[in-house]
Homo-oligomer: A and B are copies of this chain.
């Protein structure tokens, strides 16, 4: 039997935003993995249409509820944190033991919760409405998010970095995991969306701040960040900058 060339991982996510897909992209990029960002390509089996037909087409045994999702040969996986759980060992970005794997995954799920709350600051009523249709609700929710939730999450990340017996450079053990990359991206997203609030909260969380400085200096990530594969933040995205949702000036 002839050997089969290993297939590239196929990532499916909206083609114009970093969004939740970026958690996956950063892991794939750091590892130098062979992958295609399917919806950003043209041709058969490519484009947003390929994503939608996988989600809503007949005959897909395990249709994902939402994007991002990943195809690896016969395996189709949705839910960002589940995708990273699957990729972690394969990309060398998670511990090999069960307890370490689970702790990394638990951190990722908490990062995902924070990202979902950040999203809901601009869409507190419904993701099906425009931000402009829910501005009063957004103003109230964003205030609580800035004043109560951002510090609570940052404190937790700071605590677990500081308690890592292998040192505070990484969340888990002495080596990089996908959770480190995800925390960096979360911090970047929050800084984009809430620059004034983050200027208030981040400097006091020194270990989180240091991790967010270190990650983009890694060669694989640095190369990715200046490549056309990296898309900019925008107001069509998970993290959005509406000045009126940030701390008031002065």
Contacts and interface: CB of A to CB of B under 8 A. Distances in A.
Interface string A64-81: 110000000001011101
A218 interface: no
A229 interface: no
A242 interface: no
Contacts of A85: 102, 105
B141 A124 contact: yes
B75 A99 contact: yes
A239 to B, nearest CB: 19
A159 interface: yes
A68 B76 CA distance: 29
A77 B62 contact: no
Contact of A82 (B61, B105, B116): B105
A102 B106 CA distance: 15
A17 interface: no
A110 interface: yes
Nearest to A139: B125
A105 to B, nearest CB: 6
Measured as residues with beta carbon below 8 angstroms from the partner, the interface class of chain A is: 35 or more
Nearest to A129: B144
A192 interface: no
A204 interface: no
B106 A78 contact: yes
B159 A144 contact: no
A165 B62 CA distance: 11
A134 B144 CA distance: 12
Nearest to A105: B82
24 contacts: A61-B163, A63-B156, A64-B106, A65-B110, A65-B153, A65-B156, A77-B102, A77-B106, A78-B106, A82-B106, A82-B109, A86-B102, A116-B116, A120-B120, A124-B124, A124-B125, A124-B137, A125-B141, A125-B144, A126-B141, A126-B144, A126-B148, A128-B144, A134-B140
The 7 lowest CB-CB distance pairs between A and B, nearest first, are A126-B144, A79-B109, A125-B140, A65-B110, A137-B137, A79-B106, A82-B106
Given A63-B156, A124-B141, 19 more contacts: A62-B106, A62-B160, A63-B160, A63-B163, A75-B99, A75-B102, A79-B106, A79-B109, A79-B110, A82-B105, A82-B109, A124-B124, A125-B137, A125-B140, A126-B141, A126-B144, A129-B144, A137-B137, A137-B141
